[in-house]
Amino acid sequence: MAYARNERHGHILTGQGGFYAWLSLPPRDSVRAAVLVCPPLVEERKSSQRAMVDAARLLARECDCAVLRIDYRGCGDASGRFEDFAPEDWLADIRTAAAWLRERLPAVPQIWMGVRVGALLALNAASAAAPDALLLWEPVCGEDFLRQLLQRRMVNEMLAYGRARISRATIEAEWRHGGQVDVDGFAAGARLQAQLRELRLVPFAGRGLALVTGPDARAGEALAAVAPALRISAIRLAPFWNSVGQVDTRPLAEASAAWVRQTLPLAGKTNFEPASRAALLAEFNAAETHAEAAVAIPLDGQALCAMLHRPIAGMDAAYGGVVFLGGWSGDRQGPHRLFTLFARQLAVTGLACLRFDFRGRGESDGEAPAATIGDMTEDAVTAIHWLAARLPAGAPITLVAICSGCKVAIAAATRAPQAGRLVLWSAEAMGSLRARKTNLHKTLSAMRSYGRKLARPETWRKLWRGQVQTRMVGKALVEHETRSPAEARAEDAVLARFRSFRGPMLFVYGGSDPAAPAAARAYERFCREHGIAHRMETIPHAGHSFYGLEWTEELLAVTTRWLTP
């Protein structure tokens, strides 16, 4: 395996089961602290993923920390379905991971770092297994988080149907009767919402740092009242936990690293023997024996972190392979764990599936701001060749892509003949196929969305309190995907090569995606002109990323019928 010397990721087995973890060790043979990173929930985890990875690497590299980031059961790369778990289970996961880390690094201080609800979970778990310190990024109370989830649900419905089809009262009644509610494409049951409501900022006597990024100071004030030894600092940033694009979170990572250096002096470091390092890293290699194996794919001295889903009968019995390609700012889980769940489903049918992070995304090496569609294509071609080398000779490979990943799939298919089939979800039009009115449609859609929000009294209250991110609203209204003339010409060159592609293609669009009609017509015309077998499907009312349990179920059903024999 081609991991970086000091990093591993995989499933760790414990006496209470297993959990997914990602470990980053300091480059030197000493440890100042052991840091456990507790992620946020639902889509906030995806949006915060790279911020957590970059912070972990900074703490390891510059502060000599051993950093362990976990996925709770039912989340991210961990096992299980989200709807089967609740906060009490995730609190147990934190305590299990902390005990695992304490057993291996017993002589160093332990710091728990949490983001959003992860900060709330870390604070509550600390009452039973006290860490030496806490690092909390944008902590939020359970009741506030639940309200924000429901608000996002309402916005998604207004975009899809022109109105919210379900009221808060109906949702509450559903929970009272033990039902589940669709939030962010995840099923939230009565147990989860009841326990979330009970999660509050509880007392903590230890030291630490809490970083508040938004204009609302209430969470920081409440935290200061129950944890007086914590230092509360404000760093104004865009809501990185709820952003589609990349948000520069270096100020948060740097402030956290500075606090660790100031609080835990060099004299407190413990020697880390090379044998101990090797033994600790070796525990992650055991993941290779599981149906879902954590792998690292070498590329130009760097590594693409990936998960390989093996069929039950083994790789030799696989009748084909699937490589998943995320969007511009996505990761290998896909929106609302779409890739994770679909890969597990397909592996049962006998397909070997590979989900990987592009360089600069997720857990892979590289810097995100410098990445291009061309770089992503290079990553995809490398991943295709890696999987092909482990499949039976001649086994076909299908590319399943979403959003910008569809451009990557088309480009990769011109360079990797093993990729004989393409599944493109919400494919963006490339090159000259892109309609001139695409940006106008996006602007009008955004204006309709914000117009509906302005009709609500709570929006005006937020405006008066200065809680509306006006800069983000402006970006949504007037800033769109832009391409230089060179990039447009490069896309047209890809399309020119793609004319000879003869594998079948499946396009699936959401009915409420404003860019979908023009893109679908353009690809339909292109495929007909060049004799490419294709099928067009539309999921009524679904959005660009298919946020919704019903939309997800239909998307996977349509794709499975097309994929499997």
Query: 38 by DSSP, 3-state: which?
Result: strand
Query: 538 by DSSP, 3-state: which?
Result: strand
Dihedral class, residue 350 (left if φ above 0, else alpha if ψ from -120 to 50, else beta): left
CATH of the domain spanning 7-141+204-280: 3.40.50.1820
Query: 419 by DSSP, 3-state: which?
Result: strand
Kind of pairing between the strands at 292-299 and 270-271: unpaired
> In the chain, where are the structural domains located?
7-141+204-280, 142-198, 291-435+485-563, 438-478
Residue 471 pLDDT more than 50?
no
Residue 162 pLDDT more than 70?
yes
Q: Would 7-141+204-280 and 291-435+485-563 be classified into the same CATH topology?
A: yes
Which is nearest to 11 in space by CA: 90, 93, 119, 133? 93
Q: Going along 132-280, which residue ranges are E strands?
A: 133-137, 180-183, 186-189, 207-212, 230-234, 270-271
Q: Which residues contact 485 (CB under 8 A, 6 or more apart)?
A: none
Q: Going along 441-559, which residue ranges are E strands?
A: 505-510, 534-539
Residue 474 amino acid letter:
G
Name the CATH superfamily for 291-435+485-563: Alpha/Beta hydrolase fold, catalytic domain (3.40.50.1820)
Bridge partners of 186, per DSSP, are 183
- Please indicate whether residue 359 or residue 471 has the higher confidence score (pLDDT): 359
Per-residue pLDDT, 479: 40
pLDDT in tens, 166-183: 888 889 899 999 999 999
pLDDT band at 184 (very low <50, low <70, confident <90, very high): confident
Q: What value does the mean pLDDT take over residues 229-249?
A: 90
pLDDT band at 477 (very low <50, low <70, confident <90, very high): very low
Bridge partners of 231, per DSSP, are 209
Check if the beta carbon of residue 365 is closer than 8 Å to that of residue 54: no
Per-residue pLDDT, 268: 61
**Which own/partner contact pairs does 447-455 have at CB distance under 8 Å and 24+ positions apart?**
447/477, 448/159, 449/155, 449/158, 449/159, 450/476, 450/477, 452/158, 453/155
Token pair 């995809």: residue: 380
pLDDT in tens, 47-93: 999 999 999 999 999 999 999 999 999 999 998 999 999 999 999 99
pLDDT band at 163 (very low <50, low <70, confident <90, very high): confident
Please provide the average confidence, as pLDDT, over all residues in the chain: 87
Residue 72 amino acid letter:
Y
Alpha-carbon torsion (84, 564, 424, 22), positive or negative: positive
CA separation for the pair 547, 555 (Å, rounded): 11
